[in-house]
Chains A and B, each alone.
Chain A
Amino acid sequence: MNYLSSTDLRTVKVLEQAEFPSKVNARNKVVEDTAKLIKELGIKDNAVLSFHHHLRNGDYVLNTIMKEVQRQGIKGITLVASSLFPIHAEMIPLLEDGTIENIVTSYISGDLGRAISYGKLKGKIIMQSHGGRARSILNGEIEIDVAFIASPSADAHGNISGVNGHNTCGTLGYAIADSLKAKKVVAVTDALVEYPNYPADITEDYVDYVLVIDCIGRKEGIVSGTTRVTRDPVGLKIAKDTLKVMEATGLLKEGFSYQSGAGGISLAVTAFLKEYMIENNIKGSFASGGITGHLTQMLEEGLFSALFDVQCFDLESIESLKRNPNHIRMSASQYGNPEVSAVVDKLDFVILGATEIDVNFNVNVTSGADGVLMGGSGGHQDTAAGSKVSIIVSKLFSSRIPVIKDRVDVITTPGTTVDVLVTERGICVNPLRTDLIEAFKEAKLEIVDIKELKEYSESIMGKAKPIEKTDRIIGLSQYRDGSIIDYIYEVKR
């Protein structure tokens, strides 16, 4: 009630002595029976349920919860999962029986993606970027009924930490928007710890229930022991040339900022960059994104002032997050939400992969060479749009899979935001970036027209037969701002 707008304070009711509040009797949030909780939550047909993917291919939480939803006969669920992995193939029967009707995600791999591509999903699939997902949840485009938050540890009040517990995963950046906006928030944990559980990624004031289950995941699937720099000479050649590209832009100087993926070539770029920074005595401002031990080492060595971490990829980064104050947790919104100020907007360089790129520099990381869903934007769209220079690294022909196409199968990231392509047989610059073309000329860095490179690759491999699709649209490739940049079609068997 807004007392400030009352004109006469005499009309305001004051409590009688008998009505005075009693001492707090904290509600018990802890539940151990999944079935009972699902009932208590009152999940109805067509509800919207959300999950995060920090446990990646080791995640048991999504499967556990959704199977209980199925047992209780609830239908038509919209599954809002920040990413889906091969372990989630157990959801295929739930597509078939109608438990799951729609899927909203930023990345999908494994048999579930295959099943969806072959038309098993009754509703639609919307592919978003990480920043786009946060945007759509925070601005109410997507309304989540219940967010189930896989929690490496939680106390009885619902303080969730990703660095405590046995199945640790580090930061919980992808779950923050869900915890802020979902109507109900459930921490799902296998490590109920003493209060207070800190540092908390999500605090108790946002959490309604703490569901304790036997096991939230399997360790091997959650983090990789070490992420490896490629040893493949072709990949290393691409990485070396990428560093030359970075140098030629003139942006590789004191205070620059950097992000790269965790793929082998991208990691090799980071390794070469590290050598370069030491040799030339350059210190960077920050590195961001998914964080690996390679970057935490650079932080320790003072090569970067700070790391913005939306997701830890390995044990080393989890350790670093725990003890290094300059290793900073970042939510998906702070990372790449286009409707607010975001870290990607301050990036100088981003190094990204591509399954396919076309002559207009549109990139596909959503579907594979066979047209089947096996990826997604993740932060691809966000970083490409925000960074001063976005660089795609890819082999031109690896095992006869052509990377340059006339038109990519599914547009994930629009070519208008993609600046440079580095392959082992040539560097291409987006014609929109006349400034870069000029800078590279000055630096005597040879570039080649992407159309020419495509023709060369086709002269070696032949032209790939287009993937056969039906005319049924099964979903949409959504841009980070909510607009749609491509259709996703059912693949012909």
Chain B
Amino acid sequence: MNYRTLLFIPGNNPGMLQSSDILGADGIIIDLEDAVALTEKDAARILVREYLLTFKPEGNYFIRINPLDSPYFYDDLEAIKDLDITGLVLPKASVESMAALEDYLDKNDLDFEVIALIENAMGLETALDIVRASKRIVGLFLGAEDLTLDLGAKRTKESKEIEYARSKIIAAAKAAGIQALDTPFTDTDDLEGLKIDTRNAKDLGMTGKTVISPRHVDIINQVFTPTQKEIDYALRVVEGVKGAKEKGLGAFSLEGKMIDAPIIKRALNVLKTSGDYKEEYDELLE
């Protein structure tokens, strides 16, 4: 599953939790970390459990636990290990914290997906090692607010200061064949700015974006959804490859252009995002 949008829902807010499944996001991240006050960590864990056990919401639910260097890391894991969720988001990801998480998940025989939140300089520079430390990782997620703080960079709407970080995350994610997830856009009212920021991230190679305002979900989904023209072209490429394979041809051309592996890969990515992907396409790249 390619998550175009992962929407944050504060873990201690019953009103938000009970409507989290209707907000149109591809995935939900229930937050036990920053959105929950230190005095309410215990109450939030219990509330999230009750919510998930009672509502059994459809869709992809992740839980952002507290970081390894906090006193809540293992308490969070203990509280959610038996829940039917898609996965976990590990904040302040490092090789060490990822290893600790993997160790816990192994010991408890859990097959959660893991998304690593890269939000400091060390995490960024060791992103690929963090990916390698996990069998369960499905995405790298750039947390630009904390990262720029760590870098001593000024956070701006234009986001020039995170271009390197975005590219680095994208490269590491693509090298490992997992998702590159962009930092949320924090100005809830600036919908034009959101569009520009999301397009920039997508053009660099991000495959999805995290979201802190439900009002942002539709716009981001739209940016990350291929146009009908792109889908039609991708389908023609795929049909072409199938035909060429049947005829035993190594390469072929479509509409006057040589179709090689990168173009096929791109076409398959488009179909994955649009939901038109079929399992039989798996062998097209072999």
Contacts and interface: CB of A to CB of B under 8 A. Distances in A.
A8 to B, nearest CB: 83
Contacts of B55: 460
Given A424-B22, A425-B22, A233 B218 contact: no
Interface string A235-254: 01100100000000000000
Nearest to A399: B15
A424 B18 CA distance: 11
A234 B218 contact: no
A425 B58 CA distance: 13
Contact of B19 (A231, A240, A424): A424
Contacts of A424: 19, 22
B220 to A, nearest CB: 14
A397 B55 CA distance: 14
B185 to A, nearest CB: 16
Nearest to B189: A231
B215 A240 contact: no
Interface string B8-49: 000000000011001110000000000000000000000000
B135 to A, nearest CB: 35
A236 B22 contact: no
Contacts of A425: 22
B193 interface: no
B19 A234 contact: yes
B275 interface: no
Interface in B195-240: 214-215, 218
A397 B19 CA distance: 10
A240 B19 CA distance: 15
A234 B13 CA distance: 14
Contact of B23 (A231, A233, A460): A233
B95 to A, nearest CB: 37
Contacts of A240: 218
Contacts of A397: 18
B215 A236 contact: yes
| Interface residue range, chain B | under 10
B9 to A, nearest CB: 10
Nearest to A237: B22
A234 B23 CA distance: 7
Contacts of B18: 397
B19 A236 contact: no
A425 B55 CA distance: 13
A467 to B, nearest CB: 25
Interface residues of A, number: 10
A400 to B, nearest CB: 10
A234 B215 contact: no
Contacts of A236: 214-215
B85 to A, nearest CB: 20
Nearest to B7: A233
| A236, A425, A460, most chain B CB atoms within 10 A | A236
Interface in A375-405: 397
A468 B218 CA distance: 44
A365 B283 CA distance: 60
Contacts of B214: 233, 236-237
A228 to B, nearest CB: 13
Interface string B238-259: 0000000000000000000000
Nearest to A425: B22
B59 to A, nearest CB: 14
Interface in A217-243: 231, 233-234, 236-237, 240
A231 B213 CA distance: 10
A236 B22 CA distance: 11
A236 B24 CA distance: 11
A101 to B, nearest CB: 45
A18 B18 CA distance: 88
A247 to B, nearest CB: 15
Nearest to A395: B19
A470 B187 CA distance: 53
Interface string A349-385: 0000000000000000000000000000000000000
A425 B218 CA distance: 17
Nearest to B16: A233
A234 B19 CA distance: 7
Interface in B38-94: 55
Nearest to B23: A233
A233 B15 CA distance: 11
B34 to A, nearest CB: 19
Nearest to B24: A237
Nearest to A236: B215
Contacts of B215: 231, 233, 236
A231 B55 CA distance: 24
A240 B214 CA distance: 13
A284 to B, nearest CB: 23
A240 B55 CA distance: 24
A86 B214 CA distance: 35
A72 B218 CA distance: 63
A283 B93 CA distance: 53
A397 B23 CA distance: 15
B53 to A, nearest CB: 14
A460 B218 CA distance: 27
A240 B218 CA distance: 10
Nearest to B188: A231
Contacts of A460: 55
Contacts of B23: 233, 237
| From A234, A424, A460, residue with most partner B Cβ within 10 Å | A234
A234 B21 CA distance: 10
B117 to A, nearest CB: 23
A424 B55 CA distance: 15
Contacts of B218: 240
Nearest to B19: A234
Contacts of A234: 19, 22
A305 to B, nearest CB: 28
Q: Which of A233, A236, A425, A460 has the most CB of B within 10 A?
A: A233
Interface string B182-194: 0000000000000
A183 to B, nearest CB: 54
A424 B19 CA distance: 9
Nearest to A397: B18
Given A236-B214, A425-B22, 17 more contacts: A231-B215, A233-B19, A233-B23, A233-B214, A233-B215, A234-B19, A234-B22, A236-B215, A237-B22, A237-B23, A237-B24, A237-B214, A240-B218, A397-B18, A424-B19, A424-B22, A460-B55
16 contacts: A231-B215, A233-B19, A233-B23, A233-B214, A233-B215, A234-B19, A234-B22, A236-B214, A236-B215, A237-B22, A237-B24, A237-B214, A397-B18, A424-B19, A424-B22, A425-B22
Interface of B: 18-19, 22-24, 55, 214-215, 218
**A-B complex: 7 closest residue pairs judged by Cβ atoms:** A233-B214, A234-B19, A424-B22, A233-B23, A237-B22, A425-B22, A236-B215
